[in-house]
Structures are given as C-alpha cells and as structure tokens.
Structure 1
Amino acid sequence: MLDEDQGLYTIGTVAELIDEHPETLRVWEKNNLIHPERKGKQRRYSNNDIKRLQFIKFLLDQKGLNIAGAKHLISMYSCWYNRNCKGGAYQNSPVPVNEAKACWKIKNTYCLVASDKAEMCNSCALLKTCREGQECKDGTPLGQ
C-alpha cells in the first residue's frame, strides 16, 4: 500500500502536474502554505502535498484569495498536516458535513462535522507540537 504522505515527486514534476511554475511552489512554501519533505536540498512532494497544492491553487485562482487569505483559511483546517485525515464527504451524504468548508483532500467534498471537537483537536499533531511549547510548523510560538 502506498503511503500518501511519502515524498516521491520533484518540484519540476509537481509544477507540471498542477500547471504552475516551480518558483510559484517555492513562494507558497516560503509563505508556509506547504511543507514538502527534503532529501538533501531537494524537495520531495507526496500525493497529499499535490492535493494540498491543488487546493491552494483553487483558493488563489478560483476563490480570489491572496496568499495571506489562503494561509488564514488553511490555518482553520486542523487536518492540513494530519497524516490520518481520511477526507470529506459529498453534500448529500448521510454523514453530517460542513457545506461552508470544502475538503482539501477530496475534490467536490466537504469537511465532516466533528462529533467531538476535543477529539478533532487532540488528534492534530501540529496542535500537540504547539501545546508542548515548541515552535509551530510555521515557526511561530504558541499563542501568537
């Protein structure tokens, strides 16, 4: 079984796949929208990174957000860097969805409504790192 979070693709390959210039991907990384694996000095993007990049592109191109707006919106996705995120559900699904929050992982689906908000936050590795007083993934200390 393929690990969806394993870095497999180079920046050139990913740029071609999502129809963006490699420098654009570097700018998005510099602005903490994406964090590809590094193998030496080379970036390696995973399948989930490609899905994240496609969602970022959707926010910028189709929703009209700028980088700061996309960064703010992405910060509201507790599952953005969660390896266990299973994705969302379709609008008419029997599972409750938040129709105001498009899922980044599965196109044309929506994030699930958390039955227990504490459970959702406790499963977030990024939040756990921030709680332990370490720097958050974007380099800012907790509470800033």
Structure 2
Amino acid sequence: MLDEDQGLYTIGTVAELIEEHPETLRVWERNDLIHPDRKGHQRRYSNNDVKRLQFIKYLIDKKGLNIAGVKHLISIYSCWYNRNCKGGAYQNSPVSINEAKACWKTKDTYCLVASDKAEMCNSCALLRSCKKQQDCSD
C-alpha cells in the first residue's frame, strides 16, 4: 500500500506536474506553505505535498490570494500536515460539511471537521435544537 506522505518526487518533477517554476516551489517552502521531506540536500515531495501545492496554486491563481493570504488561510486547516487526513466530502454528502471551506486534499469537496469555535457552534446539534425551540439561555 502506498504511503501518501512518503517523499517520492523531485522538485523538477513536481514543478512540471503543477506547471510552476521550481523556484516558485522554493519560495512557497521558505514561506512555510509546504514542508517536503529531504533526502540529503534534495527535496522529496509526496502525493499529499503535490495536492497541497495544487491547492496553493489554486488559491493564488484562481482566488487571487498572495502568499500572506494563503499562509493565513491554510492556518485554519488543522489537517494541513496531518498524516491521517481522510479528505473532504462532496456537497450532496449525508455528512455535515462546511461549504465555505474547500478541502485541500480532494478536489471539489469540502472540509468535514470544524477548526474554530464558531464552526463548532454552528454544527452543534444542541445549538440547532435550541434555535428551533427559541428558548435558549446562555
């Protein structure tokens, strides 16, 4: 079974895959957006690293964010470097998703796990039932 976090690809291969210059990947690494494995002095990117890089590229190219914006946004992803992240769910999934938070791991899906208290409150079953009753107190 393939370990999605095992460093397999060189910087040249990954740069070609995502259609970016290798120096761009180095800049992203210097700004703590990505942390590829090292084998000696050579970077080794995993399949999950490639997915992270594609998400970073999407945020920069399609959403118009700069590096600081990307850095801020990925900071709300508690699973950004989590080896056990299972990915997101599709919009019509029976599980609860956050449609405002695209999943970095699986294209066209959304995060399942709340990463801040506001999201946790909005997904809390107790709060939902309380809102229906309209007689909640702090």
Common topology (TM > 0.5): yes
- 5 Å-filtered alignment, 1:1-144, equals 1-114=1-114
Deviations 1:1-25 (A, max 9, x none): 0000000000000000000000000
Q: Which structure 2 residue ranges, 5 or more long, are not aligned?
A: 118-138
d(CA) in 2 for partners of 1:113, 1:12: 34
Cα deviation digits, residues 33-87 of structure 1 (max 9, x gap): 0000000000000000000000000000000000000000000000000000000
* 2:24 partner SS: helix
In the alignment, structure 1 segments of 5+ residues that lack a partner are: 118-144
Q: Percent identity?
A: 87
Q: Quick one: which amino acid aligns to residue 16 of structure 2?
A: E
Per-residue deviation, residues 59-116 of structure 1 (Å, max 9, x unmatched): 00000000000000000000000000000000110011000000000000000144xx
Other-structure match for 2:130: none
For residues 18 and 110 of structure 2, what CA distance do their matches in structure 1 show? 21
1:137 match:
none
Amino acid at match of 2:89: A
Question: 4+ residue runs of structure 1 moved beyond 2 angstroms?
Answer: none
Provide the C-alpha distance between the structure 1 equivalents of 2:113 and 2:44, rounded to a whole number of angstroms. 32
Within 2, Cα distance between the matches of 1:113 and 1:91? 14
Residues 44, 94 of structure 1: CA spacing in aligned structure 2 closer, same or farther, 3 A cutoff? same
- Between structure 1 and structure 2, the one with the greater Rg is 2
